Amino acid sequence: MNLEQLQSFVEVARLGHFTRAAEQLHLAQPSLSRQIATLEHDLGAELFHRARGHIRLTAAGETLLPLARRMLADADSARRKMAELSGLQRGRVRLGATPTLCISLVAEVLSAFRAAHPGIDLHIVERGSRGLVEELAGGALDMAIITATDGLAAVAGSLQHTPLLAEELVVVSSAANPPVSRHPAINLAELSKLPLVAFHESYDLRVTTDAAFRAAGLEPTVAVEGAEMDAVLRFVERGLGVAVVPAMVLLDRPSLRSVRLAESPAAALAGPLSAEPQLLRTISLAHRSDVNPTPAAHAMQAMIISVADELTSDGSALARWVTRV
């Protein structure tokens, strides 16, 4: 039994005539007759009472007709859904990202993706990089945007990653207060003397900042400790202290002032585009290499790469802080 046979059967039943059904289906009448005969042979029952000038269903035909219509409708629905997926009219993407990326890069990506593909359902998981890698490996995510400070080293086996951006960590302060430095950048020794709004210990950024102070033999002056990203930025806006954050969180935040963070006094005194190394983190797109992406997931990957390119273009306000890798 195949769909063509069922379609022929339904059409003959509807029209009550083999010749007219063949014309409707654009088949030669002998071909249509063979399809019906084969179907009857496969089912082991006659489907039509055949009389000159008159065709009517047998009891077996009456039983098969609603089933055949339902099977044809299901087949049509399956074709339509597959076409919708291919055309990105429907589908789902499960994207994971770190908290800092959710309020910067991911927000830009989702805005652009929703405008291009409004029918795709988006499921976002916000975790640290290590947790995202574990969920990705377990099949709970289609892809994840992670940082090199934690989790990227764990990408192995069936997981692969595509580096996207190298992002500087900058020092932010309230735009309502005077600048924290007269120079294009501030070094760790100067930063250690300022009141610091510190992230919760679980944050990758906290681990990176603490390690930088330890390596320099310095102790930060912590004013507020243990906050999440949104709270940290609000505390800084209110003048409670400064914070070390990824450059991309400055998107659409005019109430914050930023200055480059240098690892040495010489770099702080140099120009704003000094080649002296700053605190950087690498942002990568990770996904499973043993699973073919759905059309929707493939489109999301392309959108993430496109937005990363835009953020590092010459005309971008972030181009001096974020570079493509």
pLDDT at 254 over 60: yes
Per DSSP, the three-state class of 219 is coil
pLDDT confidence bin for 272, thresholds 50/70/90 = very low
Quick one: pLDDT band at residue 314, thresholds 50, 70, 90? low
Q: What is the pLDDT of residue 273?
A: 40
Q: Determine contact, residues 12/21, Cβ cutoff 8 Å.
A: yes
User: Cβ(177)–Cβ(256) under 8 Å?
Assistant: no
How many CB atoms within 10 Å of residue 44? 7
* Residue that has been written with the tokens 């997981």 in this structure: 159
Which of 33, 2, 1, 37 minimizes the C-alpha distance to 17?
A: 33
DSSP-assigned letter for residue 35: H
Please name the residue ranges forming H helices in 103-202. Answer: 105-116, 129-137, 188-191
Q: Which CATH number fits domain 92-162+282-324: 3.40.190.10, 2.40.70.10, 3.30.360.10, 3.40.50.10790?
A: 3.40.190.10
Most confident option among 51-55, 78-82, 97-101, 243-247? 243-247
Phi, psi angle pair for 245, to nearest 5° = -135, 160
267 confidence band (pLDDT: 50, 70, 90): very low
Cβ atoms of 47 and 57 closer than 8 Å: yes
Domain ranges across the chain: 3-80, 92-162+282-324, 166-280
Going by C-alpha positions, the residue among 118, 109, 122, 124 that lies closest to residue 84 is: 118
- Cβ neighbours of residue 104 closer than 8 Å, sequence gap 6 or more: 246, 248, 249, 251
Rg (CA), the chain: 32
**240 pLDDT above the threshold of 90:** yes
Rounded to whole angstroms, the Cα distance separating 130 from 107 reads: 21
Please state whether 309 falls in left (phi above 0), alpha (psi between -120 and 50) or beta.
alpha
Six-digit token string for 138: 């377990």
The answer to whether residue 151 scores a pLDDT higher than 50 is: no
Can you point out the beta strands (E) in 77-189? 92-97, 121-126, 143-147, 159-174, 185-187
Q: Which helix (H) or strand (E) holds 199?
A: strand 195-199
Q: What share of the chain has pLDDT > 70, as a percent? A: 88
- pLDDT tens-digit series, residues 64-118: 999 999 999 888 878 777 766 667 777 889 999 988 899 889 999 999 999 999 9
Strand pairing report for 48-51 and 54-57: antiparallel
- What is the reported pLDDT for 232? 94
The pTM of the full predicted model, rounded to 2 decimals, is: 0.68
Task: Of 129-143, 144-158, 289-303, give the lowest mean pLDDT range.
Answer: 144-158
CATH class entry, domain 3-80:
mainly alpha
Angle subtended at Cα 305 by Cα 299 and Cα 309, rounded to the nearest 5 degrees: 140
Name the token pair of 121: 């359902």
Distance separating alpha carbons of residues 302 and 296, to the nearest angstrom: 10
Closest CA to 263 of 196, 217, 205, 197: 217
User: Cβ atoms within 10 A of the Cβ of 95, count?
Assistant: 24
The reply to whether domains 92-162+282-324 and 166-280 share a CATH topology is yes
Indicate whether 138 pLDDT > 70.
yes
Tokens of 111: 């805005």
Q: Check residue 157 and give its pLDDT.
A: 57
Query: Which of the following CATH numbers is that of domain 166-280: 3.40.50.720, 3.90.1300.10, 3.40.190.290, 3.30.70.250?
Result: 3.40.190.290
pLDDT recorded at residue 315: 62
Q: Measured between alpha carbons, how far is 21 from 40 in angstroms, rounded to an integer? A: 17
